[in-house]
Amino acid sequence: MTEQHTQGVERAERADAARNRRAVLRATERLLAEGGGDHVSLDRVAALAGVGKGTVFRRFGSRAGLLQALLEERSAELREAVRNGPPPLGPGAPARERLHAFLDGLGAIAEGNAVLLSAHEQACAEDRYGDPSYLSWHRHLSTLFAEARPDLDAAFLAHALLAVFDGDLIRHLTPPGDPRHFTRSIQRMAAALLADAPTATRGR
Protein backbone atom coordinates (compact mmCIF):
# COMPACT_ATOMS: atom_id res chain seq x y z
CA MET A 1 0.00 0.00 0.00
CA THR A 2 1.47 3.38 -1.00
CA GLU A 3 1.79 6.29 1.41
CA GLN A 4 -0.65 8.31 -0.71
CA HIS A 5 -3.23 5.53 -0.57
CA THR A 6 -2.79 5.21 3.21
CA GLN A 7 -3.35 8.94 3.69
CA GLY A 8 -6.48 8.75 1.56
CA VAL A 9 -7.87 5.91 3.66
CA GLU A 10 -7.12 7.82 6.88
CA ARG A 11 -8.89 10.92 5.58
CA ALA A 12 -11.92 8.85 4.58
CA GLU A 13 -11.99 7.25 8.04
CA ARG A 14 -11.81 10.64 9.71
CA ALA A 15 -14.62 11.94 7.50
CA ASP A 16 -16.75 8.89 8.34
CA ALA A 17 -16.07 9.36 12.07
CA ALA A 18 -17.01 13.04 11.91
CA ARG A 19 -20.18 12.26 9.96
CA ASN A 20 -21.17 9.56 12.43
CA ARG A 21 -20.54 11.89 15.35
CA ARG A 22 -22.79 14.55 13.85
CA ALA A 23 -25.51 11.99 13.15
CA VAL A 24 -25.35 10.63 16.70
CA LEU A 25 -25.54 14.07 18.30
CA ARG A 26 -28.43 15.11 16.06
CA ALA A 27 -30.25 11.89 16.98
CA THR A 28 -29.66 12.58 20.67
CA GLU A 29 -30.98 16.10 20.21
CA ARG A 30 -34.12 14.82 18.46
CA LEU A 31 -34.85 12.22 21.13
CA LEU A 32 -34.47 14.86 23.84
CA ALA A 33 -36.96 17.10 22.07
CA GLU A 34 -39.42 14.25 21.64
CA GLY A 35 -39.37 12.79 25.14
CA GLY A 36 -36.77 14.35 27.40
CA GLY A 37 -33.78 12.66 28.97
CA ASP A 38 -35.60 9.41 29.73
CA HIS A 39 -36.17 8.98 25.99
CA VAL A 40 -32.43 8.91 25.26
CA SER A 41 -30.68 5.52 25.18
CA LEU A 42 -27.73 4.17 23.23
CA ASP A 43 -30.03 1.78 21.34
CA ARG A 44 -32.46 4.51 20.28
CA VAL A 45 -29.71 6.94 19.36
CA ALA A 46 -27.90 4.35 17.27
CA ALA A 47 -31.08 3.33 15.43
CA LEU A 48 -32.07 6.92 14.69
CA ALA A 49 -28.55 7.89 13.62
CA GLY A 50 -28.24 4.85 11.36
CA VAL A 51 -25.10 3.51 13.04
CA GLY A 52 -24.32 0.48 15.16
CA LYS A 53 -24.69 0.63 18.93
CA GLY A 54 -21.01 -0.29 19.20
CA THR A 55 -20.11 2.86 17.26
CA VAL A 56 -22.01 5.01 19.76
CA PHE A 57 -20.53 3.16 22.71
CA ARG A 58 -16.95 3.40 21.47
CA ARG A 59 -17.24 7.13 20.78
CA PHE A 60 -19.29 8.28 23.78
CA GLY A 61 -19.15 5.44 26.31
CA SER A 62 -22.56 5.95 27.89
CA ARG A 63 -25.76 7.99 27.90
CA ALA A 64 -23.99 10.49 30.14
CA GLY A 65 -21.18 10.75 27.60
CA LEU A 66 -23.69 11.51 24.85
CA LEU A 67 -25.25 14.31 26.85
CA GLN A 68 -21.87 15.70 27.87
CA ALA A 69 -20.80 15.83 24.23
CA LEU A 70 -24.01 17.56 23.17
CA LEU A 71 -23.65 20.17 25.92
CA GLU A 72 -20.01 20.74 24.95
CA GLU A 73 -21.11 21.29 21.35
CA ARG A 74 -23.72 23.83 22.47
CA SER A 75 -21.06 25.62 24.53
CA ALA A 76 -18.23 25.61 21.96
CA GLU A 77 -18.94 29.04 20.50
CA LEU A 78 -19.12 30.67 23.93
CA ARG A 79 -15.92 28.91 25.03
CA GLU A 80 -14.05 30.17 21.97
CA ALA A 81 -15.37 33.71 22.46
CA VAL A 82 -14.17 33.72 26.07
CA ARG A 83 -10.69 32.63 25.03
CA ASN A 84 -10.14 34.58 21.84
CA GLY A 85 -13.11 36.86 21.15
CA PRO A 86 -13.35 40.62 21.55
CA PRO A 87 -14.14 42.16 24.94
CA PRO A 88 -16.15 42.24 27.06
CA LEU A 89 -16.76 38.51 26.54
CA GLY A 90 -13.15 37.93 25.51
CA PRO A 91 -9.98 39.16 27.24
CA GLY A 92 -9.32 42.86 27.78
CA ALA A 93 -12.35 44.10 29.73
CA PRO A 94 -12.74 44.56 33.50
CA ALA A 95 -13.82 41.43 35.38
CA ARG A 96 -17.30 42.73 36.16
CA GLU A 97 -18.01 43.50 32.53
CA ARG A 98 -16.68 40.12 31.44
CA LEU A 99 -18.82 38.39 34.05
CA HIS A 100 -21.96 40.18 32.86
CA ALA A 101 -21.20 39.24 29.25
CA PHE A 102 -20.36 35.64 30.11
CA LEU A 103 -23.58 35.16 32.04
CA ASP A 104 -25.50 36.61 29.10
CA GLY A 105 -23.98 33.94 26.84
CA LEU A 106 -24.26 31.10 29.35
CA GLY A 107 -27.82 32.12 30.20
CA ALA A 108 -28.76 32.00 26.52
CA ILE A 109 -27.37 28.46 26.28
CA ALA A 110 -29.27 27.42 29.39
CA GLU A 111 -32.55 28.99 28.28
CA GLY A 112 -32.31 27.38 24.86
CA ASN A 113 -31.29 23.96 26.19
CA ALA A 114 -33.19 23.55 29.45
CA VAL A 115 -34.29 20.00 28.57
CA LEU A 116 -30.68 19.06 27.80
CA LEU A 117 -29.52 20.58 31.10
CA SER A 118 -32.10 18.58 33.05
CA ALA A 119 -31.12 15.32 31.34
CA HIS A 120 -27.43 16.12 31.73
CA GLU A 121 -27.80 16.85 35.44
CA GLN A 122 -29.64 13.57 35.97
CA ALA A 123 -27.23 11.43 33.93
CA CYS A 124 -24.07 13.04 35.32
CA ALA A 125 -25.23 13.45 38.92
CA GLU A 126 -22.41 11.35 40.37
CA ASP A 127 -19.72 13.27 38.48
CA ARG A 128 -21.26 16.66 37.87
CA TYR A 129 -18.27 18.59 39.14
CA GLY A 130 -15.92 16.70 36.84
CA ASP A 131 -17.97 17.36 33.72
CA PRO A 132 -15.89 19.18 31.04
CA SER A 133 -18.43 21.97 30.48
CA TYR A 134 -18.91 22.51 34.20
CA LEU A 135 -15.16 22.63 34.80
CA SER A 136 -14.72 25.20 32.04
CA TRP A 137 -17.52 27.42 33.31
CA HIS A 138 -16.38 27.14 36.92
CA ARG A 139 -12.78 27.96 36.06
CA HIS A 140 -13.77 31.10 34.17
CA LEU A 141 -16.22 32.30 36.83
CA SER A 142 -13.68 31.66 39.60
CA THR A 143 -11.08 33.72 37.75
CA LEU A 144 -13.46 36.64 37.30
CA PHE A 145 -14.69 36.55 40.90
CA ALA A 146 -11.11 36.41 42.20
CA GLU A 147 -10.20 39.46 40.15
CA ALA A 148 -13.28 41.48 41.06
CA ARG A 149 -13.52 40.50 44.75
CA PRO A 150 -10.24 38.98 46.01
CA ASP A 151 -11.59 39.17 49.57
CA LEU A 152 -14.19 36.46 48.85
CA ASP A 153 -14.02 32.71 48.18
CA ALA A 154 -14.09 32.82 44.39
CA ALA A 155 -14.33 29.03 43.89
CA PHE A 156 -17.33 28.80 46.22
CA LEU A 157 -19.09 31.73 44.54
CA ALA A 158 -18.62 30.09 41.15
CA HIS A 159 -20.14 26.84 42.41
CA ALA A 160 -23.01 28.71 44.04
CA LEU A 161 -23.82 30.60 40.85
CA LEU A 162 -23.67 27.49 38.67
CA ALA A 163 -25.97 25.64 41.07
CA VAL A 164 -28.77 27.92 39.89
CA PHE A 165 -28.32 26.70 36.30
CA ASP A 166 -30.84 23.93 36.85
CA GLY A 167 -32.86 22.91 33.81
CA ASP A 168 -36.14 22.43 35.66
CA LEU A 169 -35.74 25.72 37.52
CA ILE A 170 -34.99 27.57 34.28
CA ARG A 171 -38.16 26.25 32.67
CA HIS A 172 -40.14 27.15 35.79
CA LEU A 173 -38.79 30.70 35.82
CA THR A 174 -39.16 31.41 32.09
CA PRO A 175 -42.58 32.85 31.19
CA PRO A 176 -43.66 32.48 27.55
CA GLY A 177 -43.41 36.20 26.89
CA ASP A 178 -40.02 36.76 28.55
CA PRO A 179 -37.46 34.18 27.35
CA ARG A 180 -34.49 36.03 28.93
CA HIS A 181 -35.95 36.40 32.41
CA PHE A 182 -33.57 33.82 33.90
CA THR A 183 -30.48 35.46 32.41
CA ARG A 184 -31.37 38.91 33.73
CA SER A 185 -32.01 37.43 37.17
CA ILE A 186 -28.69 35.58 37.28
CA GLN A 187 -26.85 38.72 36.14
CA ARG A 188 -28.45 40.71 38.98
CA MET A 189 -27.51 37.97 41.43
CA ALA A 190 -23.89 38.12 40.29
CA ALA A 191 -23.87 41.92 40.54
CA ALA A 192 -25.12 41.67 44.13
CA LEU A 193 -22.36 39.19 44.96
CA LEU A 194 -19.81 41.64 43.57
CA ALA A 195 -21.11 44.66 45.44
CA ASP A 196 -18.39 46.77 47.02
CA ALA A 197 -16.72 45.17 50.01
CA PRO A 198 -17.50 46.68 53.45
CA THR A 199 -15.03 49.29 54.72
CA ALA A 200 -13.82 46.98 57.50
CA THR A 201 -13.01 44.28 54.96
CA ARG A 202 -11.15 46.72 52.67
CA GLY A 203 -8.92 47.83 55.52
CA ARG A 204 -7.66 44.35 56.37
Domain residue spans of the chain: 1-61, 63-204
Q: Cα–Cα distance between 18 and 25 in angstroms, integer?
A: 11
18-63 pLDDT per residue, tens:
899 999 999 999 999 999 988 999 999 999 999 999 999 999 999 9
According to CATH, the topology of domain 63-204 is Tetracycline Repressor; domain 2 (1.10.357)
What's the predicted TM-score (pTM) here?
A: 0.85
What does residue 184 show for φ and ψ, rounded to 5 degrees?
-60, -40
Determine the residue type at 3.
E
According to CATH, the topology of domain 1-61 is Arc Repressor Mutant, subunit A (1.10.10)
How much is the mean pLDDT over the chain?
A: 89
User: Exposed, middle or buried, 162 (CB in 10 Å: 0-12/13-18/19+)?
Assistant: middle
The rounded percent of the chain whose pLDDT value lies above 90 is 78
My answer on whether omega of the bond before 86 falls inside 30° of 0, hence cis, is no
165-191 pLDDT per residue, tens:
999 999 999 999 999 999 999 999 999
